[in-house]
């Protein structure tokens, strides 16, 4: 019920119509050890809503940033990452430009919320602030 409530909250906030959790995502949430508090669930659902297709379902890969101990956390496949890196290198896009665009996209998608943007990027808010200043 909490997850559904958070999905509704973030659908309204980000003007999306995510339909809910896939069965695998629901199972992954049930199996997750939850070392944090309710805010961890809220942040995870926010991430899921942001990454899920506009009217689709939240999948496991939308919830978890990376693998941790072989548990439920999953991110982009290494083939996807390798393909993206190869494309960026082929186009000779400088690293500072990539970093700046990535940070700006995260900030835009969280409507200026630097803490949420940092979470999307897998860094802390102070790290994001430092990189933005740089």
Q: Is the pTM of this model over 0.85?
A: no
pLDDT at 34 over 90: no
In this predicted structure, what is the pLDDT of residue 85?
83
**CA 105: distance to chain centroid?**
12
- Is pLDDT at 68 greater than 50 in this prediction? no
The predicted structure's pLDDT at residue 32: 83
pLDDT of residue 40: 86
The helix (run of H) or strand (run of E) holding residue 20 is strand 20-21
For residues 33 and 28, what is the distance between their CA atoms, to the nearest angstrom?
10
CA 54/CA 50 separation, integer angstroms: 9
Give the number of other CB atoms < 10 A from CB of residue 62.
Answer: 23
Question: Of 15, 114, 3, which Cα lies nearest the Cα of 63?
Answer: 3
Task: Find, among 104, 7, 5, the residue nearest to 46 by Cα.
Answer: 7
The 10s digit of each residue's pLDDT in 86-108 is 888 888 888 899 999 999 988 98
Over range 12-34, report the average pLDDT.
Answer: 90
70 band by pLDDT with thresholds 50, 70 and 90:
very low
Return the half-sphere exposure (C-beta side, CA atoms, 13 A cut-off) of residue 103.
Answer: 19
Question: d(Cα 28, Cα 52) in Å, to the nearest integer?
Answer: 16
The pLDDT value recorded for residue 78 is 62
What is the pLDDT confidence band of residue 76, given thresholds at 50, 70 and 90?
low
């Amino acid at each position: 019920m909490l997850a559904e409530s958070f999905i509704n909250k973030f659908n309204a906030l980000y003007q999306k119509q995510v339909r809910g959790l896939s069965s695998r995502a629901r199972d992954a949430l049930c199996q997750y050890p939850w070392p944090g508090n309710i805010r961890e669930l809220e942040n995870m659902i926010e991430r899921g809503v942001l990454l899920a297709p506009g009217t689709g379902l939240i999948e496991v890969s939308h919830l978890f940033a990376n693998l941790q101990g072989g548990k439920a956390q999953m991110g982009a496949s290494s083939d996807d990452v390798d393909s993206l890196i190869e494309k960026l290198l082929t186009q000779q896009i400088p690293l500072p430009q990539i970093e700046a665009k990535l940070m700006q996209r995260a900030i835009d998608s969280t409507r200026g919320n630097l803490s949420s943007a940092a979470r999307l990027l897998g860094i802390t808010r102070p790290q994001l602030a430092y990189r933005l200043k740089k």
